[in-house]
Chains A and B, each alone.
Chain A
Amino acid sequence: MATPKALRQSVALRAGSAAFLTFWCLLAAFPLFWVLVMSFKSPVDAFDANPLAVIFGPRTLSDGNGLSIVDIVVGLAVLIYAVRFAFTGLPRMVRAFTSPGYIVAGWAIGAVGFAVVFVLLFFGLLPILLNVLNALVGPLGEPVLGLTTEHYKAVWVENEFYRNFLNSMLVTGGVVTVSLTVGTLAGYGLARSGSNLAFWILIAALVFRALPHSVLVAGYLPVFINSAEILSPILGENAPTLYGQPLAVIAVLVAINQPFTIWMLRSFFQSIPVELDEAARVDGCTHLQAFRLVIMPVMWPGVITTGLFSFLLGYNDFLVTSLLLDAQNQTMVPAIAGYFNRETTTTDQVEAIAAAVSITAPLFLLVMVFQRQIVSGLTAGAVKG
């Protein structure tokens, strides 16, 4: 169908709109892209004033770290194939090998298996293969692009960043599981009850959502530090010091996240017709059975979306984790503050950049896989109120 003449846009308007969009995309992606490039270069190249020197890394190259044209072509081909397989072949395999009830477990095993195979192939087998290839093809095998992974090795192996990674996973995993369990129950209750009490709970949650987190932490800190003393009359000798415990931080983050979670889940539950509950109730289900057997199976999209936002809150948190965890239980985001605060040499800075990229990579994957859910989650709250 041709656009009506009145709606047709002038060339200038279309060009302007396209130019603006290009500009925005550059603005959005450039800082992240640049940090990614810097993290693979030797410090001298990474902070060079000439952008081409940063991209091609001549001094990284002269240190003997570089990729040849063959490396780049083969590496990119493997990467593209891996991504395409993840979006087409993997879902098919997961569906073929799991029975319908265990689809979530099937996805978890599939994703972990894919990651392991990819790491083994890409970082284990491929370099050996390319070494042989480079020797065979002559001039095409000469390194042209400076690239080094030494900063990543320094961060993950020497500075034991994997400990922080595991702590992050523990805290984030705990926050997502607990807040979804508690939140779905509450969201369902609130969506199906029109009482005044439900209204007041939602209003209180709205006020709690606006609270600065430091206000709450000011309340926890003295209690958590002295908790062994405070709890000893009840628990006796075994009273724990809550300060520095990942479990205590999980509880705190779940509570901070609750207001947002129940608002969002409530709006998802409201979009499921009440007739569905009523039908289940007529067939003799209790409220809990109706919730578990009838409503939850159609709620998965909403739960996944809310889970994503809980994940982001737990993963991105700096304030709560940096104040309530001690050094040995530190998560990734506060740990990075240690890098750029000491910032004595440029090597330290590039290591901080490599750590930052390591933290961002999982989020990047998350947007790639769950883009639609994130968009629907953002709009769910706004459009429905």
Chain B
Amino acid sequence: MKFRTFAAFVGPSVFMMIVFIALPLIFVFLQSFQVTQPIREMVEVETCTPGFLTQTCTVEVKSQPVLDENGNVQTETRWVGFESYANVLQMGRVWDAISSGAIAQIGNIDFWKALRFTLTFTLLTLPLVIGLGLAIALAVNNAARSIRGQVIFISLLPFIITPVIGALSIRWLFYGDGIVTAWLEMLFNTDISVAANGWAVEFLMMFYRVWHVAPFAFVIFYAGLQTVNQDTLESAIIDGASRWERLRYVIIPHLMPLIVFIALIHLMDAYRAFEEVVGFSSQAQRITLQWLTYDFLQPDDAGNRSISRASASAMLTMIGIVVILMPLLRKTWRDHRGGH
């Protein structure tokens, strides 16, 4: 294919990715070193209140925003270096906490709180998703052919459902007087308030994520199981391998590329977890890195969005993405070089 034909085919897509993904990334990078604020000026204001004989007048210096001729607030954009990063990271408080020996204090700073939760969330759900997905795939592969279609249909539901709604549907089972909480209360004969307990909420968020992603892993493992080499399995049986050994030494090595694939996709997606915080309304207890950026972008009570801080936290989130992607990119590069 000639270069010009190739460019004509790929052009629109590349254009969209440059305008709406690459350029915004550069903007965010620049914004994270800038601050845009309304220009304020100091004005002496004399306020007089009528008093006995003479008026009582006070003069105070007020800071007020400068308006342009249309009555809009004038803003200025300054380069501030790493100030926004410092605002997000709050290293001063971190060092204080470390030097005073109260490491738990770090958990009160939004960024570190979000980082702690996002990493725990990502790493703990990973083995659960792969394990559950593999178990379902093996069980379905073991089941009668006639029911496989229905089982796949039911399994796809948690995966296909809108993430916020999926999180909500689990929240409604537990929060307040939810039915499962009612059962647990009957079982243990105590009062349980799930929404008030940070660890319970954290557990529910992880439970939701595993429930949501395991079907994806299951479908891919199930497809992989169909291509297991039957001859190898038979020779393993002749060699006297038990069922467990066949799973361990024949089936799992065969599925290994798929396990790596699912692990990578899951790391990418769980690292940018966001919908769980919205669905479980957990912002008081547990937040994720992407939610932190989202929160900075939301207008506050005065209608201001802290764009610079959002950009700084977004760039910090990116570091993790690069770390996760590194092995994948290196492998793809090696395959590409080897392919030529």
Interface residues of A (CB under 8 A from B): 6-7, 9, 13-14, 17-18, 20-21, 24-25, 27-29, 31-32, 34-35, 38, 47, 49-51, 54, 182-183, 185-186, 188-190, 192-193, 195, 197-199, 201, 203-223, 251-252, 254-256, 258-259, 262, 287-288, 291, 312, 315-316, 318-319, 323, 333, 336-337, 340-341, 349, 352-353, 356, 359-360, 363-364, 366-368, 371, 374-375, 378-379, 382-383
The distance from the CB of A50 to the nearest CB of chain B, in whole angstroms, is: 8
Q: A185-B10, A378-B219 are in contact. Are A24 and B139 (CB under 8 A)?
A: yes
Kindly report which residue of chain B lies nearest to residue A31, judged by CB atoms: B169
Majority DSSP secondary structure for residues of B touching A: helix
Give the interface segment out of B19-27, B40-48, B61-69, B88-96: B19-27
Known: A185-B10, A219-B311, A256-B20. 18 other contacts (CB 8 A): A20-B139, A29-B157, A47-B176, A47-B178, A186-B9, A206-B332, A207-B325, A208-B17, A208-B22, A210-B268, A211-B318, A212-B317, A217-B297, A287-B1, A318-B164, A364-B157, A368-B153, A378-B219
Q: Is the CB of B278 within 8 A of A182?
A: no
Q: Is the CB of A255 within 8 A of B28?
A: no
Total of A-B residue pairs, C-beta within 8 Å: 286
B196 within 8 A of A: no
Question: Can you give 6 contacting A-B residue pairs, CB < 8 Å?
Answer: A21-B140, A38-B172, A214-B314, A218-B28, A318-B162, A318-B274
B130 within 8 A of A: no
The distance from the CB of A244 to the nearest CB of chain B, in whole angstroms, is: 13
The distance from the CB of A227 to the nearest CB of chain B, in whole angstroms, is: 13
How far does the alpha carbon of A31 sit from the alpha carbon of B180 in the complex, in Å? 10
Interface residues of B (CB under 8 A from A): 1, 3, 5-6, 8-10, 12-14, 16-17, 19-28, 31, 36, 132, 135-136, 138-140, 142-143, 149, 151-158, 160-166, 168-170, 172-173, 176-179, 182, 185-186, 211, 215-216, 219-220, 223-224, 237, 243, 258, 261-262, 268, 271-272, 274-275, 278, 281, 289-291, 293-294, 296-298, 305, 307, 310-311, 314-315, 317-318, 321, 324-325, 328-329, 332-333, 336
Q: Is the CB of A215 within 8 A of B237?
A: no
How far does the alpha carbon of A219 sit from the alpha carbon of B305 in the complex, in Å? 13
* Residue in A209, A252, A363, A379 whose CB lies within 8 Å of B20: A252
How far does the alpha carbon of A220 sit from the alpha carbon of B21 in the complex, in Å? 9
* Chain B residues, Cβ within 8 Å of A34: 169, 172-173, 179
* Residue in A50, A221, A262, A337 whose CB lies within 8 Å of B164: A337
* Chain B residues, Cβ within 8 Å of A352: 168
Q: Is the CB of B160 within 8 A of A186?
A: no
The distance from the CB of A223 to the nearest CB of chain B, in whole angstroms, is: 7
Q: Is the CB of A199 within 8 A of B10?
A: no
Kindly report which residue of chain B lies nearest to residue A341, judged by CB atoms: B281
Q: Is the CB of A336 within 8 A of B6?
A: no
Q: Is the CB of B151 within 8 A of A383?
A: no
How far does the alpha carbon of A31 sit from the alpha carbon of B182 in the complex, in Å? 15
Kindly report which residue of chain A lies nearest to residue B218, judged by CB atoms: A24
Q: Is the CB of A251 within 8 A of B20?
A: yes
* Chain A residues, Cβ within 8 Å of B185: 49
* Residue in A215, A222, A251, A366 whose CB lies within 8 Å of B160: A366
How far does the alpha carbon of A204 sit from the alpha carbon of B163 in the complex, in Å? 27
Q: Is the CB of A203 within 8 A of B332?
A: yes
How far does the alpha carbon of A252 sit from the alpha carbon of B139 in the complex, in Å? 41
* Residue in A21, A29, A223, A256 whose CB lies within 8 Å of B143: A21
Q: Is the CB of A185 within 8 A of B215?
A: no
The distance from the CB of B87 to the nearest CB of chain A, in whole angstroms, is: 15
A-B pairs with lowest CB-CB distance, top 7: A219-B24, A189-B9, A255-B20, A186-B13, A49-B182, A212-B272, A214-B293
